[in-house]
Structure 1
Amino acid sequence: MQKIFGAEAKVYLNYEGDIHSLAEKLNKKLHIDITIENREDPPYDFTGMCQTLGIEIWLNSSDKEPRYAYELELRTELRIGEFMNGQMHDLSLWLARFITMVCKVETLVLLENDEVVFKIDS
């Protein structure tokens, strides 16, 4: 019997503009539709979200790494079984390279211990 795997990724973005202009750039270059809304819970800032082909995408502000003011996360939907069974593929490195090449935005990927794993300049 074949196993089913899910996927996830987290990439930090070095972008000088606001979250609205970053969402516009990502939407245009990646052919997605991130919509920006106010959060209903603290910190009451802006958050972006999009769903496409069974993938949830979030765009948020971040202060985790200097110069990287935003983070983009994605996860496959219906992933509870895969997550519980350790059957998730991490696409962070691929997504970082893809965003940098297509959108011309510098990206960064961190390990769980916050060690820089991958940094690529546009």
Structure 2
Amino acid sequence: MTNAGLLDLWTEPQERECLSCYVSRLLADFGCDGTLRWTRRWRGLRAPGVVAIDRMFRRRAVNCDCGVPAALGAATSSGTPPPCAGVRRGSTRPCSMWGRPDAPGRARGSPT
């Protein structure tokens, strides 16, 4: 397998991986380049029908992948991203492993 093939495999969203987990995982591995490259890759592979995602992030002043989890309502992650609890294909909502900043006292991974 070529290096490009390995990179494609490494950066492919896992089955049912939510956008927040995917972006956090790729940011931990590759960092941020100031664009929405991981968000757009996830959308292209897992939710091609969600065409308004760029517009939604522009309205929320999210210009790069770093702001995506928070813009989707996921609490800020520090360190290693949690294992994804999974979402239905095409959903842009964070999985249940992410705490909601609008729910005081709720920690990441706690039951909803």
Whether TM exceeds 0.5 here: the answer is no
Structure 1 or 2: more strand by fraction:
1
TM-score category by the smaller chain?
0.3 to 0.5
| Structure having the higher Rg | 1
Q: TM-score, normalised by structure 2?
A: 0.33
